[in-house]
Each structure stands twice: as C-alpha cells, then as structure tokens.
Amino acid sequence: MSKTVCLALTGASGMPYGLRLLECLLGAGCRVQLLYSQAAQIVARQEMDFELPSRPADARAALISRYPTVDRENLQVFGREEWFAPVASGSNPPDAMIICPCSMGTLAAIAQGLSDNLIERAADVVLKEGRKLVLVPRETPFSAIHLENMLRLARAGAVILPPSPGFYQHPQSVQDIVDFVVARVLDQVGVSHSLMQRWGEAR
C-alpha cells in the first residue's frame, strides 16, 4: 500500500525544498495531505513567484496545474482551521509527517504541545501515535531557545533535519543542492527515490 504523508509548509525560508518534496512524494505514489500557513503563502510568493491561494480547493488546483504529471487523486489540501481533517485525530493519523520548511515559531509551538492550528495539531497527533515526524528547520544561527526546543522534540521522537547539503557530489546547480536535502527527507519517511547518488556507489 502507498504511504500517506502529511506535508506542512510554514513561514521559514526554504520553499523550494517544500515544493520539491511535494512533487517527489506525489511522483512516488504517496497520498499527500498538504497543510500550509499564511506565512508560507508569503514565502512561496517571495522565493518562487508562486501564488499559493488561501482557499484549499484553489491551492489544490494551482498545485495540480504546477505538477500536471502527478496523480491528482493523491493530493488533499486542508485549511488551517479544518478540524475535521483526518490528520486532526489519532484515529486516522498519517504514516509520517514532514514540516518543510519549519519555522522556529512552529517548532516552538509543537515543542510545547500547543495545537492552535491544524499544523500544530497534526504534529501533536503524529508524535503521540508514535509515527515519524520530520522537521526541517531553516534558520541560522540557532539561539539557545531554538536548540532547547529541538532537543525537546528529538527526545519526544521527532527527527530534526536541518537543510544542510553535502558537496561531495559536486552539485552543478541550485536544484542539485535542493535535491540533496529532499533526498535525505525522503529517506527518513521510507520513500524511494533516485535524486542523488549514494555514498560508496560507483559514479
């Protein structure tokens, strides 16, 4: 059976990682439950000239238009206050959740167990149900508060995966750098890919 992955986009820089993840998850046949914050809409416009509409139905249509080759039936988009979404309950959790990019505000809220919106609630559900939660925090430098929140989440079972690309593959483009990070995220949730050559493999 294909995996169900909840992907949340928040207001940190790094939207190319998030949208590339969406493309790869759908391309791998995963069912994707997409959530996004208001700040993520601003970042998408700033970094990618992509208008992510406020209405979930319009956002879904825009994403399907952007990635026309993927199976549109595998993409669901939910609003920030859509409390009847499957991800809001431990009775129907996804197999994994990725927050990419993950803002420090979102990370802090999850670390404190807050559930003031659907992104925070979904993360809380995934943690309490023992599913994989991957956070991709895009901030630098980290303050002591940031690091303490990350440690707290790591101890609770989350994976903290900063978008730190390796250069041993001699990347030739920004896309190569993005794909390196996306590949590591996909590995964490058990989704196969061919985005990068693995260490020790013949070139």
- CATH classification of the domain holding 119: 3.40.50.1950
For 12, the token pair is 């940190």
97 labeled part of a ligand binding site: no
Instruction: Tell me whether residue 117 is in a domain.
Output: yes
184 labeled part of a ligand binding site: yes
67 labeled part of a ligand binding site: no
Instruction: Tell me whether residue 201 is in a domain.
Output: no
104 labeled part of a ligand binding site: yes
The pLDDT value recorded for residue 163 is 97
The pLDDT value recorded for residue 139 is 96
13 labeled part of a ligand binding site: yes
198 labeled part of a ligand binding site: no
Which residues, 6 or more positions from 120, have their beta carbon under 8 angstroms from its beta carbon?
106, 109, 110, 114
Q: Is the peptide bond before 162 cis (omega within 30 degrees of 0)?
A: no
Instruction: Tell me whether residue 82 is in a domain.
Output: yes
For the chain, which ranges sit under pLDDT 70? 202-203
Instruction: Tell me whether residue 199 is in a domain.
Output: no
**CB count in 10 Å sphere of residue 11:** 21
pLDDT in tens, 150-171: 999 999 999 999 999 999 989 9
Instruction: Tell me whether residue 96 is in a domain.
Output: yes
The pLDDT value recorded for residue 200 is 85
The pLDDT value recorded for residue 203 is 64
Q: How many domains does the structure of the chain reveal?
A: 1
Instruction: Tell me whether residue 150 is in a domain.
Output: yes
The pLDDT value recorded for residue 197 is 83
Instruction: Tell me whether residue 198 is in a domain.
Output: no
- In angstroms, the CA 182 to CA 55 distance is 27
142 DSSP 8-state letter: P
31 labeled part of a ligand binding site: no
The pLDDT value recorded for residue 202 is 67
Mean pLDDT score across all residues of the chain: 96
In this structure, are residues 1 and 31 in contact, taking their beta carbons and an 8 Å threshold?
Answer: no
Instruction: Tell me whether residue 194 is in a domain.
Output: no
106 labeled part of a ligand binding site: yes
Q: Which domain holds residue 82?
A: 4-189
